[in-house]
Structure 1
Amino acid sequence: MSQPRLSIPQYAMALAHVASLRSEDPYRKVGAAALDHDNRVIATAYNGLAPGFDPSPDFWKDREGRQKFMLHAEINLCSLFRRGDAKLIATTTMPCTACMQTLCAYGIKEIYYQEIYHASDAPEIAALYGVTLQQVTDFPMSDYLIPEE
């Protein structure tokens, strides 16, 4: 017997998880995926450093010190499409306040995430702008989590 077809949020979340595997951050791996108005994949991204920057191995030892240099998965994702091109995004962690503001500026109307980020104002921002912000925990790869150190 075949398994039921994945919902669009489950599909997008699975893609976001695969993207997170590319993150160079040894402590926090976040991935994101964007789908257009026909539910076609238009971009995937992950958190990391600016393209072409090759840090010394010591860079990764100072977790607190390196955080300000890390580009969030959602920001990297938005750099890959134009405003209005994406209907929805999925990200492995609820967007932080700044990323949520950026997603709203890009006209995203549906945002799905797996992990809650309690320091974020994303729920309040989503409510104000009429954006669907929904947790999705049941999708392929949901049992394959990268342990945090």
Structure 2
Amino acid sequence: MTARVQQNQLLALIVDDEPFFRTVLRLFLEQDGYRVAEAENGIEAINVFEQLHPDIVLLDISMPDMDGFECCHKLHSLAQGQNTPILMLTSVEDERSINRAFAAGATDYVTKLVLLPILRQRLKRLIEQSQLQQKLLAANQQLQL
């Protein structure tokens, strides 16, 4: 696991079995001010998620032990996972895989060939939507009280 600790930083969890790709993503995210945690497979990702409660998850599909579809489904079924954006970031780009990713609970889906400025905007948009949804849920709970 890797993390730069500063207050008010968002925590991103990168889940990918390719060390080089995790390193590239970690450096990119840290440059943008994120704290970063890493996992190399789905089982490890669930454990890290339950310990750290990241603000966003970047998840590969093709991994040993537990693929990204199953991991996404399990993360989404966790209490904190329901409001955490899960971005499937993978080299698999067929329509069946895209449909499976969204059915498993993915918030968005992009291929690994995406340009970094596009990824930056996707992450920003997903986190803003998640934070707004959490604020609306809290406001709704206040109104019900």
Considering Cα pairs closer than 8 Å and 6+ residues apart, tell me whether 1 or 2 has the greater RCO: 1
**TM-score interval for Structure 1 and Structure 2 normalised by the shorter chain:** 0.3 to 0.5
The alignment's TM-score, normalised by the length of structure 1, stands at 0.39
The structure with more helix, counted as a fraction of residues: 2
Q: TM-score, normalised by structure 2?
A: 0.40
